[in-house]
Amino acid sequence: MTTVQMMLGDRSYPIRIRAGCLAEVGESAASELGIDRVVVITTPRVGAAWFATLARGMERARVEVTRLDVPDGERAKTLRTASRIYDQLLDGGVDRQTFVMGLGGGAACDLTGYVASTWLRGVPLLQIPTTLLAQVDASVGGKTAVNHPRGKNLIGTFYQPRQVWVDPEVLRTLPRREFRSGLAEVIKAGALWDADFFAWLEREIEAVRAQEPEALARAITRAIEIKAEVVSLDEREGGLRALLNFGHTLAHAIENVAGYRRVRHGEAVAMGMVFACRLSQNKGRIGADVTGRVEDLLGRAGLATTPPDWSGQRDAYLRAIAVDKKVAGGKVGFVILGELGRAEVLQLTPQEILETAT
């Protein structure tokens, strides 16, 4: 078992990483946290694959388990879905001693965190991410969110879980497209923070894609370590944590305009990272060689890197960028690369973002 510690004072928590650990969650969490009741928020597909394994461990530890299903993907991240869950929690007599657990991908983790942070002003939260993207990003760091019709993740809180359990074995049931989508967040971590890790990924990306156990475990662990390092230094995005948004400004705009069902989050992030590299290059921060390395690695990971043609939708993209969470005074904190392994933030208008990178 590898443990990465999120260092946040009295809100610190472990992120446990080991193949097969899903079956151990119940007994370990019951022993360490004194859990006697848990509500698991999952999706029908994930629940069918993995809920029974989780529930058996809980039952061995004499923990009462209730399962609540929500839709797959971004469709779940709405205030309407959250309200329905509140009704179910109320009907079930869920109090402040009941743990809420997210079992699913990034959307399920985001929604579960939001519900846990707002129900009764906060109930204890556990996260068990079942997609690569959720394992290295959504479940770690305490950001929670639901979407607004005009923008992604505009409604949310900062709320840390008590524990996160990462089981690489669950990725074997993940559709290949979803796995590739998660690789974008792994590559992002190296590009913005750790040039040596990025170079390792360049050497080992085929092994990671093939889910060879040693390579996959190292990729997941280092990506989580990087996020934990950043969040431990800046929990609430006062400065440094904003660097984790590398590639995300354009990615969220693509998701909003093109639609969540047409493009996965990681696919949009891959496009957004190459776009940000070109903007960095045009600003004189990096050379064409860095842009080429980022684009090549993303391509080898099976990800498209060319953004949609927005010539006929320019106004829609400008509106989507303008409602980004990082907007202040009409400018967006846009993350660029100063060099491979070091990111920085520029304050740019939406017009400057689209014009400078093209």
Is 147 labeled as catalytic in the residue annotation? no
Residue 207 CB neighbour total at 10 angstroms = 15
One of 162, 222, 227, 325 is an active-site residue; which one?
227
One of 252, 264, 278, 285 is an active-site residue; which one?
252
Is 148 labeled as catalytic in the residue annotation? no
One of 143, 180, 209, 326 is an active-site residue; which one?
143
One of 245, 255, 264, 325 is an active-site residue; which one?
245
Q: What are the two backbone dihedrals, phi and then psi, of residue 243, each rounded to the nearest 5 degrees? A: -60, -25
Is 245 labeled as catalytic in the residue annotation? yes
Is 143 labeled as catalytic in the residue annotation? yes
One of 162, 241, 293, 326 is an active-site residue; which one?
241
One of 265, 293, 325, 326 is an active-site residue; which one?
265
Instruction: In whole angstroms, give the CA distance from residue 126 to residue 165.
Output: 8
Q: Determine contact, residues 338/224, Cβ cutoff 8 Å.
A: no
Is 121 labeled as catalytic in the residue annotation? yes
Q: Residues of 42-60 as b/e, b for ≥16 C-beta within 10 angstroms?
A: bbeebbebbbebbbebbee
One of 80, 121, 176, 203 is an active-site residue; which one?
121
One of 185, 225, 255, 295 is an active-site residue; which one?
185
One of 188, 222, 248, 278 is an active-site residue; which one?
248
Q: Determine contact, residues 243/343, Cβ cutoff 8 Å.
A: yes
Paired tokens of 195? 């040039």
Q: Tell me which residues are annotated as active site.
A: 121, 143, 185, 227, 237, 241, 245, 248, 252, 265
